[in-house]
Chain A
Amino acid sequence: MPSQRILSGRGLVFLAVLVAAAVLVPVLSLAVPPASPFHLSAYAVTLVGKYLCYALLALALDLVWGYCGILSLGHGAFFALGGYAMGMYLMRQIGARGTYANPNLPDFMVFLNWHDLPVTWWGFSSFTYAMAMVLLVPGLLALVFGYFAFRSRVTGVYLSIITQALTYALLLAFFRNEMGFGGNNGLTDFKDILGFDIQSAGTRAALFSASCAALALGYVVAAAVTASKFGQVLVAIRDAESRTRFLGYRVETYKAAVFTLSAMMAGVAGALYVPQVGIINPGEFAPANSIEAVIWVAVGGRGTLVGAALGAVLVNWGKTFFTGVFPEYWLFLLGGLFVGVTLFLPQGILGLVDRLTAPRRPEPPAERPVAPDEQVLPAPVAE
C-alpha cells in the first residue's frame, strides 16, 4: 500500500555495516599494534574514509537522478563547495603557524600582498559557521540554479549540459587568484581540526567514523524522503512529468527541493573529504569528476541508494588498484565499465543481485477475476 517502510532489509544491513565499520576501524587502527596482521594503517583508514565520502556524493546524486530523473553532470561542484567551506575553516585554524606567520591572513593572501581578510572569509574561524556554510553554500546555489532551470523547464540532456557548464564555470572562477580561494593551488597545509592534529592516527580514525555517520545519516534521510509521498511524486515526475503536472503538482518546486537537498548532502561529503585528503583545489570542480560520480551510481544501480554507495566504493577501490598497476589504462577501463553496465546491467550491480536472488515473479492474476465483494460495473450493452 502507498505508505512504505522507510528501511528495507537491505537498508538495515547497509546501516549495520556502517555502524560496525565506524566502531571496528578505529579499534583496528588505534588499539591493535602495528605488528598485528589485523592492524589498519592510517593510510588505509583514510583511503576508505575517502571512498565513504564518494559514497555519500553518489547517494546524493542517486536521489536526484535515480528517483527524479535529473541527470546532474555537475554534482562535483556541490561536493567541491562543501570542501572549500571546510578548507577555509582549516586554513583559519593554521593561524600564525603559516610560512609567513601572519596571524590574520592565510599564506596565499600574504603572498598576494593582501592586507585584509575578504568578506567571504569572515566567520570561518568558527567551526559552527563553517559547517553552516558547508550546507548553505551548495544548497543556495542549487536552489537558485534549480529554480531558474526547472521553472524554464530545462530537462534531459539540456539540463545535463548546463549542470556541466555550472561546474566548469566554477572551475575557471576558482582558478583565479582574485577570487580569494587560493587560486590554482587551492587550500592546503592544514594543521588541525577542532584542536586535534589533522595528521594523527586518532584524528584520521575519528574522521573515518564521522564519514560513516554522515553516510548513514544521509542514507536514512534519503530513504525517508523516497519512501514518503514526496518521494512517490519524484518517481512520478521521472516517469511521466506532464502527467504529474496535469494532476496539479508543481513539478519545478519538487525538482528544486530535491536538487537542493541533494546538493547539501554532496556538500557534507566534500567537507568530510577535504580534511582526509588534506587539500582542496579547483581541480575538484573538473567536469570529469562529476561524470565519474554518475558512473558510480550507474554501476551500483540507480534508484536504489544502497547501490549508489556500493558503486562508489567498488569503482574507487578499482581505481586505486588499477591506477597503481596500469595507470594509463584506467580511463579506458572506466569508460568500458560504463558502456558495459549501460548495455548489460541497466539496473547496476544491485539489479543483478535482485535478479539472481528474487523468487520467480508471481503470475499476474488471470483475466480480471472478480472479487466476491467487488461491485461490478454494469454488463456491456448488448449489441
Chain B
Amino acid sequence: MTDPVLTSSLLYLDDVRVSFDGYKALRGLSLVLAPNEMRAIIGPNGAGKTTMMDVITGKTRPDTGTVFFGGSVDLTKRDEAEIANLGIGRKFQKPTVFENHSVDTNVLLALKAPRGAFDTLFGRAARDRRERIDGILRRIRLWDHRARRAGDLSHGQKQWLEIGMLLAQDPKLLLVDEPVAGMTDSETATTAELLREIARDHAVVVVEHDMAFVRDLGVKVTVLHEGAVLAEGPLDQVSADPRVVEVYLGR
C-alpha cells in the first residue's frame, strides 16, 4: 500500500465497524489525523466517540476496518500495553487515577520508563526523574498537592492529574475523553489552555460536549453521529451544517 494519505498520517481509520451484540456502535468510521494535529470530536450521546478511542487503544477489536498508527503500524493486531508503549496515551471519560497512591506516585508510574516487571522490581530510577515529575506537577497546578492521596483530590484536580499522567507518558498521540466534564468555568478555561499548550508538541484528539470549550480550542472539528462521521471542518462551518443542527446542536 502506498496511499499517500495513509503514509503521511499519524492516525488513520478507514471504514471501522464495531457491534456489541448486534448493536452497531461504529458503522464505517473513517478519520485521518496528521502528525501534531489537534482535533476536537463532538457528537450526541452514544455516537461512538468513546468506542472509537477503545478501538484505537486496543480495548475493543473492530469487526472490520483498518486502523493504522504512524502510517505503518496496524493497531488492530496489538493489545493495550503494546499500543500504549507505541506512544498513544488516553484519558478516560470518567477520571481514573490511582486513588490510593499519592499525586506524586501517580505521575511517577506514568513517567516514560521501562515497564517490565523486572525493571520495576530491580531497576534504578532515572536521574532526572524528580525534575521531570516536578515539571509536570507544576504544569498541571498540582505541585502543592503532590503528597496528597490522589483519591482526596477534587474532581477537576483528578482530571488534571490524569492529563499530567498523559504528559508524563510523553506519547505521540493523546486521546482525551471529555476532559472538562464536571469542571467549573474557570477550570474549563484553564484546561483548554493546558491542552493547547500540550498540542504544541503532541497530536491530540479531544472528545467534548462543551461547545464553549471546543470553540476555545479553535481547531478542526469532527462530528460523529451513529457511529460514522457526519461532518468535518471548522466549528463555525459544521455548526451551520443543517444535518449537524438536526442531530446534535438543534436538540
Contacts and interface: CB of A to CB of B under 8 A. Distances in A.
Q: Interface of chain B, helix or strand or loop or mixed?
A: helix
Given A2-B104, A232-B109, A371 B216 contact: no
Given A242-B80, A253-B117, A380-B190, A247 B144 contact: no
A377 B165 contact: no
Greatest chain B CB density within 10 A among A2, A239, A246, A376 is at: A246
Contacts of A236: 98, 101, 109
B63 interface: no
Contact of B189 (A3, A250, A370, A380): A380
B120 A240 contact: no
Interface string B174-200: 000000000001100110111000000
A14 interface: no
Contact of B81 (A245, A374, A375): A245
A383 B80 contact: no
Contact of B92 (A235, A239, A243): A243
A368 B57 CA distance: 33
B97 A371 contact: no
B144 A232 contact: no
A3 B104 CA distance: 11
Task: Place the interface of chain B in its size category.
Answer: 35 or more
A63 to B, nearest CB: 13
Contacts of A368: 141, 144-145, 157
B229 interface: no
Interface string A171-187: 00000000000000000
B45 interface: no
A369 interface: yes
B108 interface: yes
B139 A375 contact: yes
Interface string B145-170: 10010001000010000000100010
B97 A250 contact: no
B105 interface: yes
A249 B108 CA distance: 13
Contacts of B117: 230, 233, 250, 253-254, 257
A248 B59 contact: no
Contacts of A371: 143-144
Nearest to A228: B121
A73 B140 CA distance: 42
Nearest to B125: A3
B105 A248 contact: no
B96 interface: yes
Interface string A220-231: 000001001110
Contact of A249 (B81, B104, B121, B165): B81
Given A230-B120, A230-B121, A247 B141 contact: no
Interface string A253-293: 11001000000000000000000000000000000000000
Given A228-B121, A246-B84, A364 B148 contact: yes
Contacts of B130: 1
B97 A247 contact: no
Contacts of A370: 144
Contacts of A378: 193
A251 interface: yes
A229 B59 contact: no
Contacts of A369: 144
Given A235-B101, A243-B97, A249-B81, A375 B138 contact: yes
Nearest to B194: A377
B121 A243 contact: no
B98 A240 contact: yes
A380 B193 contact: yes
Nearest to A370: B144
Interface of A: 1-3, 225, 228-230, 232-233, 235-236, 239-240, 242-251, 253-254, 257, 364-365, 368-371, 374-378, 380-381, 383
23 contacts: A229-B121, A230-B121, A232-B109, A235-B98, A236-B98, A236-B109, A240-B97, A240-B98, A245-B79, A246-B80, A246-B90, A248-B84, A248-B85, A248-B115, A251-B81, A254-B117, A364-B148, A365-B148, A368-B144, A368-B157, A371-B143, A375-B139, A380-B193
Given A245-B84, A251-B81, 12 more contacts: A228-B120, A229-B125, A232-B101, A232-B105, A239-B98, A242-B59, A246-B84, A247-B165, A374-B143, A377-B139, A377-B193, A378-B193
